[in-house]
A = this chain, B = another copy of it.
Amino acid sequence: MRAAAELIAELGWGRVTTRAVAERAGLPHGTVSYHFRGKQELLIEAALQAFAQAMPIEHFAALGSVDDLLGLIAAEVGDPDALDPVVSRLLFEAMREAERDPALRGRLGTMLGDYRRLIVETVRAGQAGGAVFAGAPAEALATLLGAVGDGLLLQVLLDPDLDSAGAIEALRALLARS
């Protein structure tokens, strides 16, 4: 699947063929085309798998606190040069393709929802323990935290000098006042 992700990043989503993926992966074309109902399904699976590897859901499931989550976001967006360029290109390719393909849009929306549900649990635990602002529903704060992560990622990719660490510290200070 990494072969497909690389090809999307290199050529653009629309120019990848199952044949090219098979060649890159060193597999017979029949093996690749047998496993997927067409090129689009293959590329969608490859993109989602690459995102899941870049941001493992296990890390979200293992979060001990909202502070840990902010640390995870800070690590992800803090050093844009450290981001796998295949993954960041793939992210833009997938978002653009999702605008056209409801199936991909649905899959990405579901993936965002999976991360968000784990963040909700972390926020709720923090609120119960008095460490996190309790003046807003956990769901709303989780949506906010997810948006901050995605928005900062987007902006540091456009502007590597963005002070993402400062923004995350500001959010930490806001949330800490319970």
Check B174–A136 contact: CB distance below 8 A. yes
Query: Cβ of A37 < 8 Å from any Cβ of B?
Result: no
Q: Which residues of B contact A93 (CB under 8 A)?
A: 96
Size bin of chain A's contact surface: 35 or more
Q: A162 CA to B152 CA in the complex, in Å?
A: 19
Query: Cβ of A57 < 8 Å from any Cβ of B?
Result: no
Check A133–B166 contact: CB distance below 8 A. no
Residues of A within 8 A of B (CB): 12, 14, 88-89, 92-93, 95-96, 98-99, 105, 108-109, 112-113, 133, 135-137, 139-141, 143-144, 146-152, 154-155, 157-159, 162-164, 166-171, 173-175, 177
